[in-house]
Structure formats: C-alpha cells, structure tokens
Amino acid sequence: MQLNLSADEVLSTTRSVRKRLDFDRPVERSIVEECLNIALQAPTGGNSQGWHFIVVEDPDKRKALADIYRANWALYSKMPAGKPRGDARDEQLPRVRDSATFLSENFERAPLMMIPCIEGRLENLDVASGAGGWGSLLPAVWSFMLALRGRGMGSAWTTIHLMLDGEKKAAELLGIPYEKITQGGLFPIAYTIGTEFQPAKRLPLEKVLHWDKW
C-alpha cells in the first residue's frame, strides 16, 4: 500500500513508532525486501557496500532478542536522566520513556525485527574512521525507515540491546560473526495503527543553526 506522500511529507513525518505498531497484522516479506532494495541506494563510503540486514521472523528468536533488549532496558531505564535542558525536551521525556517502556514490554509481538550490520568492528576507532563506518550504514537504515513509512508501516530506532554483552548474545543467537561484523540497532517492523503522523516538536532552527562560526 503506497500512501502517495510527497518526499517532504515522508521526511517530516517518519517517526520512531512504538505504541502505534500493529502487532496483529502480518508483514509480507516482499514489502520488506522492496524497502531494503531502496535502502541499498543510500550512500556508502568508498562504495564499500559493507552493509548486511538480518530480518528475524522466527518467533523464538524474536522472543530471545526481546529478552536481551528487556534485560538491558531494565538497567538503562533506572539510569539518571541527566540535567534538565530547560526547553520542550524536558516535557517530552516522560512520554518518550513511557513509549519506550511499552516497546520493551511488547517487542517480540512485532511481526518482524531487523538488525542492520556493517562489516568491521567500529568500537575504539578514531573519529574519522568511526564516522566513515557509521556513515556507510546509517543512511541506508534511515532510507529503510522512510520506505516503510511510505507503505503504511513503521519502526523504531533502538540500540539498547547493544549494551553490555547484548550484542554478543544477539550475534550468537543469529550466527553473526561478532569479530568481523558490528550491529547497528534492533528495529521492530510492523504496519502502523493509522497512517497519519505529524511533524515532531523540535528545537527551532535558530537554536541549532550556525553560519560561518559556532
């Protein structure tokens, strides 16, 4: 199902969807592959194309991944939230945490999960090498999320499962060669409950735009 949104509409209304994921509607493999084919058109450093995408359909593996995520979320959710920022982000934080908690409690209900990976280990790299590595994966993942949005589907960019030894546990579960491959997140994939999404409240441009100097 194509929503016939303009490029600007897709870019400005693609959200991290948690509470509005339709856990009861199956997701067709063909549509996910269609979205991933679009993702493969994203830029990649040096034309390396070192990305890999693991889509998890098996219910036992989805449950195991959700358990890894939940164990880490239980720790992360108890960490201090940091100093108040004195702007709208403080007001939004409780809603975001509530939404994230909901996803943690229901993660395995997503019809599919996706783990994007990049060849090589990216920890402990210098800034330039790290930026190049992530810059060769994250644009493709964002393109995937945009393609989902255009088809009435949604996801949420999560990285909690990577904490502590979670990445290694996920690698063992899915046969990912940990020493050679870095995981970039864990994404639920589902149709959304309703297709109307609004632009998020963000800081005004003048707060973050710098011309010629900081």
User: How sure is the predictor about 87, in pLDDT bands with cuts at 50, 70 and 90?
Assistant: confident
DSSP codes of every residue in 6-22: -HHHHHHH--B-STTEE
Instruction: Please report which residue ranges of the chain form alpha helices under DSSP H.
Output: 7-13, 29-39, 59-76, 88-106, 127-135, 138-149, 166-174, 205-208
Higher pLDDT, 79 or 137: 137
- Asked whether residue 88 carries a pLDDT value surpassing 70, the answer given is no
**For residue range 10-69, what is the model confidence (pLDDT) as tens digits?**
999 999 999 999 999 999 999 999 999 999 999 999 999 999 999 999 999 999 999 999
What does the pLDDT read at residue 90? 60
**For residue range 182-201, what is the model confidence (pLDDT) as tens digits?**
999 999 999 999 999 999 88
The amino acid present at 83, given as its one-letter code, is: K
What does the pLDDT read at residue 134? 95
Give pTM, 2 decimals. 0.92
Q: 7-78+89-193 — its CATH code?
A: 3.40.109.10
Domain ranges of the chain: 7-78+89-193
Residue 76 CB burial class (10 angstroms; 0-12, 13-18, ≥19): middle
What is the pLDDT averaged over residues 202-210? 93
Cβ neighbors of 20 (< 8 A, separation 6 or more) are 154, 192, 193, 194
> Which backbone phi and psi does 117 adopt, to 5 degrees?
-130, 160
**Average model confidence (pLDDT) for the chain?**
93
- Asked whether residue 86 carries a pLDDT value surpassing 70, the answer given is no
